[in-house]
C-alpha cells in the first residue's frame, strides 16, 4: 500500500496546513510566524496519512489494523461489498461519470454518490482511477473467482 499511503500523505499536507494555523492560533492565543504551518505539516503528514489510511481499512474490513493480530489480518473482513468489473472503451471514465464526484456533496444530481453517498468515505461506490489501479484492485478482490452465485444464494 506504499504508493497509496504516499499519495495520501501529500493530500494530508495541504489539509494540515489549513488546519494547523487556525487550530494553533486559537489554542495558543497568538499569531503564528509566517510559514510555520508548512514545517509542522511536513512533520505530521505521514502519521496523519497513516491514521486516515487505518480508518479506511477499518471501514472496509470492520477491523482496526492497529489492534488486529497477524492472524486476524489474514481472515476475511466482517464488512461485505459487491465488486463489478466494467470493460470496454473508456470504461473507467464512463463508470466514474455514473458514480459522480468522490464527495457526495460535490456530485451531480442523479449520480450514485449524490443519491446514495453520505460523505467522502461512505460515498456509495468505488471506481478505479486508472487501468493499473483496476488491475491491482481486481487482484485484491480476486475477481477471477466470479462467485456472485454464492453471494446471491447466501443473502437472497
pLDDT at position 56 is 86
Is 129 inside a domain boundary? yes
**Overall pTM > 0.75:** no
CATH number of domain containing 107: 3.30.70.141
- Could you give the CA distance from residue 81 to residue 102 in angstroms, rounded to a whole number? 18
pLDDT in tens, 36-89: 999 999 999 999 999 999 998 888 888 898 898 889 888 888 877 778 888 899
Residues 68 and 108 in one domain: no
pLDDT in tens, 93-152: 999 999 999 999 999 999 999 999 998 888 889 999 999 999 988 888 877 776 777 777
Q: What is the DSSP string of 67-93?
A: T--HHHHHSPPS---------STTHHH
Torsion angle in degrees (nearest 10) through CA of 1, 86, 90, 130:
0
Residues 6 and 67 in one domain: yes
The residue range of the domain holding 55 is 2-74
- Total number of domains in the chain: 2
1 has a pLDDT exceeding 70 = no
pLDDT in tens, 96-113: 999 999 999 999 999 999
Residues labelled catalytic: 126
- Per-residue pLDDT, averaged over 1-20, amounts to 86
Residues 53 and 104 in one domain: no
Question: Of the residues 27, 46, 74, which one is the last residue of a structural domain?
Answer: 74
Amino acid at each position: 500500500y506504499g504508493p497509496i499511503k504516499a499519495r495520501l500523505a501529500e493530500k494530508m499536507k495541504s489539509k494540515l496546513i489549513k488546519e494547523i494555523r487556525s487550530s494553533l492560533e486559537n489554542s495558543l492565543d497568538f499569531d503564528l510566524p509566517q510559514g510555520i504551518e508548512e514545517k509542522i505539516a511536513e512533520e505530521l503528514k505521514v502519521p496523519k496519512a497513516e491514521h486516515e489510511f487505518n480508518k479506511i481499512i477499518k471501514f472496509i474490513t470492520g477491523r482496526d489494523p492497529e489492534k488486529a493480530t497477524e492472524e486476524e489480518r489474514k481472515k476475511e473482513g466482517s464488512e461485505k461489498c459487491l465488486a463489478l468489473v466494467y470493460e470496454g472503451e473508456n470504461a473507467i471514465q464512463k463508470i466514474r461519470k455514473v458514480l459522480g464526484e468522490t464527495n457526495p456533496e460535490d456530485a451531480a444530481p442523479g449520480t450514485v454518490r449524490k443519491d446514495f453517498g453520505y460523505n467522502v468515505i461512505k460515498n456509495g461506490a468505488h471506481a478505479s482511477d486508472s487501468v493499473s489501479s483496476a488491475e491491482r484492485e481486481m487482484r485484491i478482490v480476486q475477481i477471477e473467482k466470479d462467485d456472485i452465485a454464492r453471494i446471491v444464494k447466501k443473502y437472497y
